């Protein structure tokens, strides 16, 4: 059920993000979602793409440091309180969200949020038990 | 003003005769009591009894910092430990420190040699001396402390740190002489300004600075901003500590205590004597040390000899201020730091490759050491928490291994230039 996410190390200098997106574009890969966590000195770019292996190889070839991690793509009903309900489930299950960010595209009538948990298995169990829809890698690529 | 005029103004020929006599005794003593030297002399087929002139020292092998480490802690002591009344240890280590010992006589000699430097700078029994050098294993604090007491000056043993308190005490206790590193003296001047204290309203009149290289421009700035006469002095723990060489009131070069040290100036690569006035590495042989005599110690400090006589009347030859190092050692806030130490610390952090660059800056008169480390897959995490924790780990280990705080910056892989020589991994932006 987890979706594979790529993370790229970025020094805080101008043009780096543009270079990364160009490398990905040149390899024919489509970016589905992204977020940047940054400090004064460096940033961590997280990406959901439609062809993980291709993007990873292209980035490495261009000298970027890349790591892959499993994340969950959770469907969030697109209405008031949709996200609050999901977060309540997570809280009640005693799970820690390492970070989260939103998808650009919608899945039907729902928004999609990416979650990174420390305890992946427990998170899957809790969310599924509460009736949340977790998107598969194929579903994410097909969006 | 002299402390031991009979020695400080001794005719040149007498100094050389005294040096030779003391050298012969020292060589015989180490050959008898220190296996390291005995073995080295035997291996080189050198007969200590055949030493007939000071130039004969050139037949003897050098002693390096690594030799001191190899014999850690007491291997090079020339007396039984029961005769040792004090040990000191060098600041800045690569895992193994160097340890030096002092007998009761060594402490008396050291005190006298420091009293000479204090006298040379114009300090008297009427002075109130604030010692802002660290007290502890570092020789700076205790060296100056004993010299002041020997001279009869009043000591404020405040040690290093806590700048505002230093200034408060300087004001309240009416400090007349300040002992610290020159960069710390500038920091004191800055903080005084922040505190709205006019240095001219203080009783300060003389500064005794050492422990790191500094420039004539910095001296002028210190003189002007603190209203003092700033003097330079030189020493290293391996041969004694402060008091090896020091400036007299002329403030033009540092007189070597030649009755206690035989100093050669050698080309750092050929190890041949440099022409008079040329830059060379100071290679020092102790002439009177009992607990820890050292033969031809390679200090790695660079200076020039000033052959012409000094107008102060002292006959001891002078060296210039320190002009640099013949190795890649850095002096950060008075602490000796070797790039190789940083490498071994980085190696010890899981997954870190030792691709790094050191940047040294001086901000607000304080040294700042930044270590740039290349990221790689095994230390990169998509989690900010994990990434920060790794940087903190590197930072803490470096600070604890080096004895000086550092800033750690992660940079992208393969963006730091590769060098063959380790020295070039350092970018020192400080101006001396």
Query: Per-residue pLDDT tens for B233-283?
Result: 999 999 999 999 999 999 999 999 999 999 999 999 899 999 988 999 999
SS3 B413: coil
Q: What is the pLDDT of residue B146?
A: 98
**More confident of the two residues B214 and B317:** B317
Whether residue A16 is found in the same domain as residue A63: yes
Architecture label for domain B335-428: 2-Layer Sandwich (3.30)
Rounded Cα distance between B158 and B233, Å, is 20
pLDDT of residue B166: 97
Q: For residues B395-411, give the mean pLDDT.
A: 89
In this predicted structure, what is the pLDDT of residue B422?
Answer: 37
The shortest C-alpha distance from B167 to chain A (Å) reads: 34
Residue B216, pLDDT score: 87
Q: Which residue has the higher pLDDT, B250 or B415?
A: B250
d(CA B180, CA B190): 15
Separation CA A91–CA A123 (nearest Å): 10
Rounded to 5 degrees, φ, ψ at A74 are -110, 130
Complex ipTM > 0.85: yes
Residues A79 and A135 in one domain: yes
Secondary structure class of A128 (helix, strand, coil): helix
Contact check, Cβ <8 Å, A9/B384: no
Q: Stretch A103-117: mean pLDDT, rounded?
A: 86
pLDDT over threshold 70, residue B95: no
Domain boundary among A23, A53, A69: A69
Cβ pair B220, B197 in contact under 8 A: no
Residue B355: pLDDT over 80: no
Task: Name A140's Cβ contacts closer than 8 Å, sequence gap at least 6.
Answer: A3, A32, A48, A50, A73, A112
Same domain, A131 and A76: yes
Bigger pLDDT: B403 or B69? Answer: B69
A58 and A77 together in one domain: no
pLDDT at B420 over 70: no
Q: Which of chain A's residues have a Cβ under 8 Å away from the Cβ of B409?
A: 41-42
Q: Is A7 on the interface with B (CB under 8 A)?
A: yes
How confident is the model over B352-374, as a mean pLDDT?
A: 86
pLDDT at position A12? 85
d(CA B279, CA B275): 8
pLDDT of A125 > 50? The answer is yes
Give me the helix-helix angle, B163-172 and B182-194, nearest 10°.
Answer: 80
Q: Could you tell me the residue ranges of all domains in chain B?
A: 5-327, 335-428
Residue of A nearest to B372 (CA): A41
- pLDDT tens for B164-197 read 999 999 999 999 999 999 988 988 998 999 999 9
Under a CB-based contact definition with an 8 Å cutoff, are residues B220 and B228 in contact? no
Are B381 and A67 inside 8 Å of each other by CB? Answer: yes
Relative to beta strand B297-306, strand B318-319 is antiparallel
A41, A63, A69 member nearest B382 (Cβ): A69
Rounded mean pLDDT of B53-73?
95
Q: Of the given ranges (A41-55, B185-199, B330-344), which has the lowest mean pLDDT?
A: B330-344
pLDDT at B421 over 60: no
> Domain containing A114 — which CATH number?
3.30.2130.10
- Closest residue, chain B, to A66 (C-alpha): B377
B91: pLDDT strictly greater than 70: no
Contact B116, B247 (CB under 8 A): no
Domain range for residue A80?
70-142
Task: Tell me: do A77 and A123 sit in the same domain.
Answer: yes
On whether both A30 and A77 belong to a single domain, the answer is: no
Which alpha helices (H) appear in B34-103, and where do they start and end? 35-43, 65-70
Domain-terminating residue out of A53, A69, A85? A69
Confidence of residue B336 (pLDDT cuts 50, 70, 90): confident
Name the fold adopted by B5-327.
Answer: Rossmann fold (3.40.50)
Question: Domain check: are A75 and A90 in the same one?
Answer: yes
Return the ∠ at Cα B404 (arms to B401 and B408), rounded to 5°: 85
Q: Are A51 and A109 in a shared domain?
A: no
Chain B positions touching A64 (Cβ under 8 A) are 412-413
Question: Which residue, among B107, B149, B142, B120, has the nearest Cα to B288 in the 3D structure?
Answer: B107
| In the predicted structure, residue B354 carries a pLDDT above the cut 70 | no
In this complex, do A44 and B384 lie within 8 Å of one another by their Cβ atoms? yes
DSSP B58: G
Average pLDDT, chain B: 92
* A86 and A111 belong to one structural domain: yes
Residues B103-131 have pLDDT tens digits of 999 999 999 999 999 999 999 999 999 99
- On chain B, the residues whose CB falls within 8 A of the CB of A11 are 410-412, 415
> Tokens 């010890």 sit at which residue?
B348
Report the pLDDT value the prediction gives residue B418, as an integer from 0 to 100: 63
* H or E element in which residue A120 lies: helix A120-129
Domains contained in chain A, number:
2
- Band of the pLDDT at B423, cuts 50, 70, 90? very low
Give the pLDDT score at B414. Answer: 79
What is the C-alpha to C-alpha distance for residues B360 and B172, in angstroms, rounded to an integer?
Answer: 35
Q: Are residues A42 and A106 in the same domain?
A: no
Give me the DSSP letters along B122-164: T--TT-EEEE-SPPSSSHHHHHHHHHHHHHTPEEE---S--HH
Q: Do B413 and A64 touch (CB under 8 A)?
A: yes
Is A76 found in the same domain as A134?
yes
Q: Enter the pTM of the model.
A: 0.74
The two tokens of residue A51 are 């062809």
The mean pLDDT of chain A is 92
Lowest mean pLDDT among B130-144, B257-271, B347-361: B347-361
Last residue of a domain, one of A39, A69, A99: A69
Both A54 and A8 in one domain: the answer is yes
Distance from CA of B374 to the nearest CA of A (A): 10
User: Is the CB of residue A66 less than 8 Å away from at least one CB of chain B?
Assistant: yes
| Lowest pLDDT segment from A58-62, B304-308, B418-422 | B418-422
Average pLDDT over residues A125-130: 94
């Amino acid at each position: 059920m987890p979706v594979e996410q790529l993370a790229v190390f970025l020094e805080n200098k101008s043009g780096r993000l543009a270079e990364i997106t160009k490398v990905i574009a040149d390899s024919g890969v489509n970016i589905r979602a992204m977020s940047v966590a940054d400090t004064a000195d460096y940033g961590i770019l997280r990406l959901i793409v439609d062809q993980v292996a291709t993007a990873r190889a292209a980035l490495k070839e261009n000298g970027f440091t890349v790591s892959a991690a499993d994340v969950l793509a959770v469907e969030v009903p697109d209405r008031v309180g949709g996200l609050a309900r999901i977060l309540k489930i997570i809280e009640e299950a005693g799970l820690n969200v390492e970070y989260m960010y939103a998808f650009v595209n919608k899945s039907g009538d729902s928004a999609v949020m990416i979650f990174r948990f420390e305890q992946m298995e427990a998170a899957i169990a809790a969310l599924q038990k509460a009736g949340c829809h977790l998107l598969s890698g194929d579903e994410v690529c097909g969006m | 003003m002299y402390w031991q005029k009979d020695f400080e103004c001794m005719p040149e020929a007498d100094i050389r005769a005294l040096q030779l006599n003391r050298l012969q005794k020292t060589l015989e003593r180490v050959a008898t009591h220190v296996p390291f030297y005995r073995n080295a002399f035997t291996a080189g087929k050198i007969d200590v009894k055949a030493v007939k002139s000071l130039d004969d020292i050139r037949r003897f092998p050098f002693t390096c910092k690594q030799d001191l480490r190899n014999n850690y802690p007491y291997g090079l002591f020339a007396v039984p430990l029961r005769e040792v009344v004090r040990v000191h240890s060098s600041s800045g280590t690569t895992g193994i420190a160097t340890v030096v010992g002092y007998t009761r006589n060594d402490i008396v000699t050291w005190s006298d040699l420091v009293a000479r430097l204090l006298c040379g700078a114009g300090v008297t029994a009427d002075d109130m001396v604030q010692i802002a050098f660290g007290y502890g294993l570092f020789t700076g604090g205790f060296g100056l402390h004993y010299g002041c007491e020997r001279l009869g000056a009043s000591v404020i043993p405040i040690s290093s740190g806590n700048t505002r308190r230093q200034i408060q005490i300087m004001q309240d206790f009416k400090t007349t002489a300040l002992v610290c590193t020159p960069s710390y003296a500038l920091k004191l001047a800055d903080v005084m300004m922040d505190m709205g204290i006019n240095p001219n309203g203080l009783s300060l009149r003389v500064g005794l600075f050492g422990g790191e290289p500094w420039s004539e421009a910095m001296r002028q700035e210190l003189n002007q901003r603190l209203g003092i006469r700033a003097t330079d002095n030189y020493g290293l723990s391996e041969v004694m500590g402060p008091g090896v060489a020091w400036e007299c009131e002329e403030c033009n070069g540092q007189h070597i205590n030649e009755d206690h040290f035989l100093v050669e100036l050698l080309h750092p690569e050929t190890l041949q004597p440099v022409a008079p006035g040329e830059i060379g590495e100071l290679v020092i042989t102790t002439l009177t040390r009992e607990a820890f005599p050292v033969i031809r110690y390679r200090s790695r400090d660079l200076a020039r000899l000033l052959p012409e006589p000094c107008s102060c009347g002292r006959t001891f030859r002078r060296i210039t201020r320190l002009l640099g190092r013949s190795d890649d050692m850095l002096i950060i806030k008075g602490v000796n730091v070797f790039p190789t130490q940083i490498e071994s610390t980085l190696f010890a952090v899981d997954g870190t490759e030792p691709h790094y660059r050191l940047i040294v800056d001086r901000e607000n008169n304080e040294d700042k050491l930044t270590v740039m480390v290349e990221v790689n897959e095994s230390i990169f995490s998509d989690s900010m928490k994990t990434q920060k924790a790794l940087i903190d780990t590197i930072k803490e280990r470096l600070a604890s291994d080096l004895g000086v705080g550092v800033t750690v910056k992660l940079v992208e892989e393969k963006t730091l230039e590769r060098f063959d020589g380790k020295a070039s991994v350092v970018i020192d932006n400080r101006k001396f």
